[in-house]
Amino acid sequence: MVIAVALANWEVHKTLIDQGSSANILYWPKFLRLDIPHSLIQPHTEPLVGFAGKSIHTRGYVDLLTTFGTPPDSGQIMVRYLLVEADTSYNVIIGRPTLNQLGAVVSTPHLTMKFPRHNGKIISIREN
């Protein structure tokens, strides 16, 4: 499922919701276009191991306020993204850590993600 999210007040399209990923990833070319200060990058020394067992080294990680949905029907949380330089058609991958933090339920047949807000309201996000 592919959606748009707001990262550090920038709308980012081509965000993959990946229930199989154990990490949240922000790809390096998109990070550079977001005009986020490099001083926010923290070191991350462990490689990221992909599905095929191939290791990829990261450029570090960054914690960014991320908005899911469109206000007023939205939710915001701080998300830790590993910065990865790789060829991909996506800008961001949202993995299980964030889906769990949101309390999200993803329905692939319906191309919809739902999660509760603090006030009990259920937010629904459909694929772009």
Query: What's the CATH number where 44 sits?
Result: 2.40.70.10
- Specify the pTM: 0.93
Domain that holds residue 92: 2-126
In terms of DSSP H, where are the helices of 3-124? 28-33, 96-102
Q: Quick check: helix, strand or coil at residue 99? A: helix
Q: How many domains does the chain have?
A: 1
Q: Name the token pair of 119.
A: 């006030």
Structure confidence at residue 51 (pLDDT): 66
Give the Cα separation of 33 and 35 in Å (integer). Answer: 5
Residue 121 binned pLDDT confidence (cut-offs 50, 70, 90): very high
Q: Is pLDDT larger for residue 57 or for residue 79?
A: 79
Phi, psi for 104 (deg, rounded to 5)? -80, 145
